Chain A
């Protein structure tokens, strides 16, 4: 009986599939933002007669239909799982899984981008640092690919070559190499960033290299910091990009009396906002990592009322600096963080009084990840 009507049954199922998807696309409200992909989704195009006749309307309909497709995330996961487990493909959109971590292939080394970053750093040095006789230090934070690519046989740039290239291009800086002091589990499994709770010794080491001052090497985060955990699970940036099922991370942040008493001022070019080191509102937003120093801010000033060193740290950094800086607060009276992705280097003098900073007691640190250096067009 079934076999007799098989073709009719198949036709009904297929047409029902198309009709259901079509109706769902029309009836379901449009989404504006994709949590998993961390991007805004295409809006419905405005209907104009001239666009219809020229074909432009269909060009703008395409991304809209794809972005607003019903069960989009489910379909993306189906594709990712099929590619990984049936086709045995080694990466999905250049994201791969190794040792429980999601990581992105960083390949090849882009000399143009490294040159651009170096040129921006030299501009900062010539404009603000050299007149004050400040000698900057440079920390390049390796991305997870450094620890995972070789053992998992994925494509990777030569990190030794990148480090050597940047050292040669920025020879006026002193280098602090932290590669051997980090492990892949010091990073979140689903995100690019490192875990703050694993950075206490890194922070101590960097400060030691900057100032010669160090705390006992036997201390751990438990001895001087209390650890708190965000209740919300953390689905990092690689989770959405890969679309593979993966358990989320947990964000922990470290605090103590000193950090709680810090006065944090954010400068976005127009306003100064007084806040705290950890922004709980941003922690509940689209990127929980923005808990650390409110994420994307051009200039942040951290004043430590209980500081006794008389020293100031001036840090030019990317997002990796957001979680590291709080762990350096106890060594300084003041930390100024600058992110030249969000403010032009040429305008810094309007917001930071460099001439008022102590020439002898100011440490200058450049802290950037290999991910940013190899794709540095955002540095202004």
Chain B
């Protein structure tokens, strides 16, 4: 059950935050500003290093430019370089909230990035499949720590994810929610990849399809507008997860 919850939260936080960023980019364009992309399909990454070049790009860039590089970056002796990495990632965690679970989340990535830089990266390049599994495993686990109330809550969730706790791995509820949300789940996973976008672009590049694509764009966007309005009207107020950040 916890895995379903953790994977669902991983998808939710991506759509919540990248959607929020896309709204800002779109509103900026209306007003004549061009903001850079903040998310670039982070869940297709094959290393944690790559993940942080695709996730919350503005945050990573800021810490790199204003903390990591001024501290010397990797152009210092090894012990100082390791300290720089841990300091940057501890601060990245703290930036998300004044709570130890965020610090732990940040430090987790500090450890992973260090391990990759020291030796793991060359092994990850050998198998795309295993490197994707490795990234998604730690991203999902990391988000379990991220969304916990506190450290004990985080460890309680992790224990149950790895079958050490009291909750079973699969229950009647798990089966029901997987069945009920399967289509949405599938759509959400596909949306995390560039498959759909590239597929549509490829299709619409064909001369015979250009007119059709242009004609379908208006009704498609209108249907989308009606649907998001319908969801807004039906649901209670649901602030963006990253709003407080």
Contacts and interface: CB of A to CB of B under 8 A. Distances in A.
A79 B227 contact: yes
A51 interface: no
Interface stretch (A9-17, A202-210, A274-282): A9-17
A88 B237 contact: no
B226 to A, nearest CB: 6
B233 A76 contact: yes
11 contacts: A3-B214, A17-B222, A17-B225, A75-B226, A79-B231, A80-B234, A87-B181, A87-B187, A89-B181, A90-B176, A154-B176
A3 B212 CA distance: 10
Contacts of B27: none
B182 interface: yes
A6 B214 contact: yes
A91 B179 CA distance: 11
B183 interface: yes
B173 interface: yes
B118 interface: no
Contact of A10 (B181, B218, B234): B218
Interface stretch (A62-70, A310-318, A324-332, A342-350): A62-70
B237 A63 contact: yes
Interface of B: 172-173, 176, 179-184, 187, 211, 214-215, 217-218, 221-222, 225-227, 229-234, 236-237
Contacts of A21: 229
Contacts of A10: 217-218, 221
The 5 closest A-B pairs by CB, nearest first: A79-B230, A90-B180, A75-B230, A75-B233, A78-B230
A155 interface: yes
Interface in A51-79: 62-63, 66, 69, 72, 75-76, 78-79
Given A6-B218, A153-B176, A14 B225 contact: yes
Contact of A66 (B179, B184, B187, B232): B232
Contacts of A40: none
A244 interface: no
Contacts of B217: 6, 10
B184 A76 contact: no
B185 to A, nearest CB: 10
Given A6-B218, A13-B222, A88-B182, A155 B176 contact: yes
Contacts of A33: none
* Max chain B C-beta neighbours (<10 A), residue from A72, A75, A82: A75
A108 B177 CA distance: 14
B233 A13 contact: no
Contacts of A91: 180
Given A82-B227, A155-B173, A62 B234 contact: no
A150 B234 CA distance: 28
A76 B234 contact: yes
Given A10-B218, A14-B225, A154-B176, A76 B230 contact: yes
A243 interface: yes
Given A3-B214, A86-B183, A87-B183, 6 more contacts: A3-B215, A63-B237, A66-B232, A78-B230, A79-B234, A82-B230
A243 B234 contact: yes
A9 B181 CA distance: 36
Most A CB contacts (10 A, CB to CB) among B229, B230, B236 go to: B230
Nearest to B184: A87
